[in-house]
Amino acid sequence: MALTPQDVNRIAHLARLELSAAEQAQMLDQLNGFFGIVEQMRAVDTRGVEPLSTPLSALHPVQLRLRDDLVTEGNDRPANQKSAPAVEGGLFLVPRVIE
């Protein structure tokens, strides 16, 4: 099942990546090369197998650890915004968003 140039455009848009025509062409070849080795995986019968999303659950049941509802963080705005591209009055600035 090969990807089409339209697939590459759609995915690049979803991922917010601008790709030049040359990059798109190369990406198409490389992705199709990769999905070639994926086919063997799709063929395996995995019926009844529980997906493993957190590795240690292969060892024992893993459950989410919960934090007490306490405020532990203060105002670190200056340090937190040190590497911000555009800030004014403490707000991060972006091109106008139309709703």
Partner 1 sequence: MTAVLKLGVAGLSRALAAREISSVELTQGLLAGIDAHSDLGAFLCTDADHALAEARAADAAIAAGSAGPLTGVPIAHKDIFVTDHARSGLPSTAGSKMLAGYASPFDATVVARLGAGEAGPAGRGPGAGMVTLGKLNCDEFAMGSSNENSAFGPVLNPWDRQRVPGGSSGGSAAAVAARLVPAATGTDTGGSIRQPASFTGITGIKPTYGVCSRYGMIAFASSLDQAGPMARSAEDCAMLLSAMSGFDARDATSAERPPQDYAALMRKARAGASAAKPLQGLRVGLPKEFFPAALAADVNGAVRAALAELEKLGATLVDVSLPRTELSIPVYYIIAPAEASSNLGRFDGVKFGHRAAQYADLMEMYKKSRAEGFGPEVKRRIMIGTYVLSHGYYDAYYLQAQKLRRMIADDFQACFSAGAQGCDLIAGPVAPTVAWKLGEQGDDPLQAYLADIFTLPASLAGLPGMSVPAGLGAHGMPVGLQLIGNYFDEGTLLHTAHALQQATDFHLRTPQGY
Partner 2 sequence: MPTHSPLVRGFEVVIGLETHAQLSTASKIFSGASTSFGAAPNTQACAVDLALPGTLPVMNRGAVERAIRLGLAVGAKVAPVSIFARKNYFYPDLPKGYQISQYETPVVQGGRIEFVLDGAARSVRLTRAHLEEDAGKSLHEDYANQTGIDLNRAGTPLLEIVSEPDIRSGAEAVEYAKALHALVVWLGICDGNMQEGSFRCDANVSVRRPGAALGTRREIKNLNSFRNMQAAIEFEVQWQIDRLEDGLPIEQATVLFNPDSGETRAMRSKEDAHDYRYFPDPDLPPLVIAADWIEGVRVSMPELPAAMAARFVRDDGLSTDDAALMTQSLAFARYYEALRSACGNAKLAANWLMGEVSKRLNAEGRDITAATLRPATLAQLIVRVLDGTLSNNSARQVFEVLWIDALAEVDAVIAAKGLKQMNDSGALEAIVDAVLAANAKSVEEFRAGKDKAFNALVGQVMKASQGKANPAQAGELLRRRLG
Query: CA 33 to CA 11: how far, in whole Å?
Result: 17
Q: Find the angle CA(23)-CA(41)-CA(15) to the nearest 5 degrees.
A: 30
Nearest to partner 2 of 25, 92 (CB atom): 92
First to last CA, the chain: 38
Instruction: Select from partner 1, partner 2, none the partner in contact with residue 8, using the beta carbon and a kind-dependent cut-off of 5 to 8 Å.
Output: partner 1
Query: CA 6 to CA 28: how far, in whole Å?
Result: 10
Q: Are 92 and 86 in contact (CB under 8 A)?
A: yes
Instruction: Select from partner 1, partner 2, none the partner in contact with residue 6, using the beta carbon and a kind-dependent cut-off of 5 to 8 Å.
Output: none
Which of positions 40-59 make contact with partner 2 (CB under 8 A)? 53-54, 57
Nearest to partner 2 of 26, 57 (CB atom): 57
- Quickly tell me which residue has 């659950």 as its tokens: 57
Interface residues with partner 1 (CB under 8 A)?
3, 7-8, 10-12, 14-19, 23, 26-27, 30-31, 33-34, 37-38, 40-42, 44, 46, 49-56, 58-59, 64-65, 67, 70, 72, 76, 79-86, 92, 94-97
